A and B are shown apart, each in its own frame.
Chain A
Amino acid sequence: MLIATSWGLFALGLVGVIVRRNVLIMLMCMELMLNGVNLSLVAFAQQTATSAGAVLVFLVFVVATAEIAIAIPIVLLLARGKRGGLDLGAYADLKG
């Protein structure tokens, strides 16, 4: 049941990243994906009665926090900028 929920969360996040154009929503969807993975890690740790999975979850938390700490200022700057707000389609010319 928990595994199925984690699959669902991950898939929801993935679809959100691919389909939505708003940067903020995409970030939130990425968090959903991370949490889906976390959930599965915890569930497996419970099933096999080992602690490695739980430790890995903390690692993921730290990475996610660091990512958000960098991403939120970028989103803020995009929102304040004059080019197109949070719509990612406006930044296609950054492809280099």
Chain B
Amino acid sequence: MRPLLTLIVLLPLAGFLLNGIAGNRLGKRFVSVVGCGLPILAFAAAIQCLIDLTAAGGSPRIEIAYTWADIAGSKFEIAFYFDRLTAVMALIVTGVGSLIHLYSMGYMKDDASYARYFAYLNLFLFFMLLLVLGRSLLVLFVGWEGVGLASYLLIGFWFEDPDKARAGKKAFITNRIGDAGFLLGMFVLYQALGTLDMDRINTAFMATTAPAVSASLVGILLFIGATGKSAQIPLHVWLPDAMAGPTPVSALIHAATMVTAGVYLVARLSGIYLHAPEASAVIAAIGAATAFFAATIAVVQTDIKKVLAYSTISQLGFMFVALGVGAYGVAIFHLYTHAFFKACLFLGAGSVIHALGGEQDIRKMGGLARRIPITFVTFAVATAAIAGIPPLAGFFSKDEILWFAFASSRGGAVLLYVTMATTALLTAFYMFRLLWLTFLGGSRMTHEVEHHVHESPVSMTGVLVVLAVLSSIGGFLSIPHYLEPLLPMPEAVPALEHLETPLLVLSIVIAFAGLALAAYLYGGDGARATALQRRFPGLHRVLSGKYFVDEAYDRFIERPLYWISDRVFLRLSDRALIDGSLHGLAALGRRTAGGLSRIQNGQLHLYALLVLIGIVFSLAWSWRHV
């Protein structure tokens, strides 16, 4: 068998090395061909793997690329694993990844660090594929850390601006906190099972004799890792700041692929979570809370990318709710539709920013629909998709999540449903608000900006069109059904089954209600929205301050840490104790030497006298002791 899986992973790595080492010397044409060509090849290889998988009837394909270490019988291998779940993930990563690479050619064409950009983007793709294809948690973890690194490099891509560099650091450090939980989970698992291969872990937990480890403990530890990577409460603070990176990066890493790694992890280890109702309840609760709070924040944001960032956090919350109620396939389904429409939204936002020469504030936009029609149409399609308007992709996945939040026998609850339905309403509302403020109504641009507005080049709009088409038809591909042999769906509570159709109608109503509300408030000159804002100044302040989570972290974690580091570790330990004792020793030596050197005054007689005294003393000493 050809080593196709290894090839998928190594192609982007080759792109990174070629572009990173030689890209600057060989010119933009070479960088573009390598940077976009290799991901597309990886996509083709992934399709070939999918065809092989279908031909093999869905039995997983395992490739052992390299044996890392063989310690007393326990092997650590770099092995790749390809089943239906991997297939979905790998196709999303390489497919959306390739599209965004193509888009970047247009978006970044005037940037001085063109080669560096594509090198980083390929590096990200390499690590992401390692994460998705890895068979063992160890390989997954390498990818997990690697995407964190790539994310850091790309957020701080314009590192001359200290704010952007700081955003990169914040993302990296926040992720490290989650990684600590992830590592602990891995240790516990290895201690109990003696293996880190995820298929074996699932088998061990599904066996009749349960392994000697608490599934909930492992589940929660690994979920802490997932909260970091997937920006869930309380580690969600890095994602909005991550918007400092170039917009295609936000689309690829911080919307479509990397942030969904946590969802993938939980779905991949569904064997554990099926036996951990407590951990699942925690996941559902955190997911719901994150979805709701992020959606409320998104309602008042004025930066086009920040709105989308909070929307991403909120949608990730939806996915975690699905995971928490046992509907793993549905979570992956939402991940898949979300990848299309959120990538389309971000790239559309990129196109808007490009057209306006860098303006990101939606209060200074408006009336762009006629000026950049292709961007407008694709953006509108994606907005309708995320809002859940049928028959676009988001409708199917979101409706299934709502249904299972309500009726799943694995933790569905009315409260969960109400929260998620409210969030869905908010989602529809803030997305249409964004659409309205950006594209419709009167222009609020300055004259100078307005003069420059232009539609983006074909390499950008083409990608937008492809993604918009995928956002509209993607929902007809039933991913949960496809994954069912691997990730069985939870049973619906029988007594609630007759409510399925009414709830379906209700979610359609919710989507249109959001649309209507946005149209009512922001239609015309937006006076009603301003009035509403005046009516509740306190609420508006809290929401636009993002519930002051950053400030609270600063107050209660950062400053005490800084204080301890500064006072205790730096001033007391380092400067006073360590430096002090060393300086003290040095001073003692110097002073003693200064005193003794006064004896050497050049008087031969004194020397002779001292020699005499020395001799007398040593003679006397040896007389007594020998």
Contact = CB atoms under 8 A, between A and B. Distances in A.
Interface of B: 600-605, 608-609, 612
Interface stretch (A46-54, A73-81, A87-95): A87-95
Nearest to A19: B605
A88 B601 contact: no
B612 A89 contact: no
B602 A94 contact: yes
Contacts of B600: 95
A89 B602 CA distance: 8
Instruction: Identify the interface centre among A17, A18, A93, A94: most chain B CB within 10 Å of its CB.
Output: A18
A8 B545 CA distance: 101
B605 A92 contact: no
Contact of A17 (B601, B602, B603, B608): B608
Query: Chain A: interface secondary structure?
Result: helix
A18 B605 contact: yes
Contacts of A91: 602
A19 B602 CA distance: 15
Given A17-B605, A18-B605, A94-B602, 9 more contacts: A18-B609, A18-B612, A88-B603, A88-B605, A91-B602, A92-B601, A92-B603, A95-B601, A95-B602
A95 B604 CA distance: 9
11 contacts: A17-B608, A18-B609, A19-B605, A21-B605, A26-B604, A88-B603, A88-B605, A92-B601, A92-B603, A95-B600, A95-B602
A95 B608 CA distance: 14
Contacts of B602: 91-95
Nearest to B600: A95
Contacts, number: 23
A45 interface: no
B604 A88 contact: yes
Interface of A: 14, 17-19, 21, 26, 88-89, 91-95
A91 B605 CA distance: 12
Contacts of A21: 605
A95 B603 CA distance: 8
A23 to B, nearest CB: 9
Which 3 A-B pairs have CB atoms at the shortest separation, nearest pair first? Answer: A92-B602, A95-B602, A18-B608
A92 B602 CA distance: 4
A19 B608 CA distance: 10
A93 B601 CA distance: 8
Nearest to B610: A18
A8 B604 CA distance: 23
A77 to B, nearest CB: 17
Contacts of A92: 601-603
B608 A89 contact: no
B331 to A, nearest CB: 84
A50 to B, nearest CB: 23
B185 to A, nearest CB: 70
A10 B438 CA distance: 111
A94 B376 CA distance: 94
A19 B609 CA distance: 9
A78 to B, nearest CB: 13
Nearest to B615: A14
A94 B604 CA distance: 10
B596 to A, nearest CB: 14
Contacts of B609: 18
A33 to B, nearest CB: 11
Contacts of A19: 605
Contacts of B608: 17-18
Instruction: Identify the interface centre among B601, B603, B604, B608: most chain A CB within 10 Å of its CB.
Output: B604
Nearest to B606: A18
A18 B615 CA distance: 14
A91 B602 CA distance: 7
A85 to B, nearest CB: 15
B618 to A, nearest CB: 16
A95 B612 CA distance: 20
Contacts of B605: 17-19, 21, 88
Nearest to A88: B604
B601 A14 contact: no
A58 B172 CA distance: 86
B619 to A, nearest CB: 13
Nearest to A89: B603
A19 B603 CA distance: 11
A21 B604 CA distance: 9
Contacts of A18: 605, 608-609, 612
A75 to B, nearest CB: 14
B612 to A, nearest CB: 6
Contacts of A17: 605, 608
Nearest to B603: A92
B606 to A, nearest CB: 9
B378 to A, nearest CB: 88
A68 B284 CA distance: 104
A37 to B, nearest CB: 14
Contacts of B601: 92, 95
Contacts of B612: 14, 18
A95 B606 CA distance: 12
A91 B601 CA distance: 10
A14 B608 CA distance: 9
Nearest to A94: B602
B22 to A, nearest CB: 62
Contacts of A14: 612
A1 to B, nearest CB: 23
Contacts of B603: 88-89, 92
A19 B606 CA distance: 9
A58 B24 CA distance: 87
Contacts of A88: 603-605
A43 B602 CA distance: 38
Nearest to A26: B604
A58 to B, nearest CB: 25
B106 to A, nearest CB: 78
Nearest to B597: A95
B233 to A, nearest CB: 75
A89 B603 CA distance: 6
Nearest to A21: B605
A19 B604 CA distance: 10
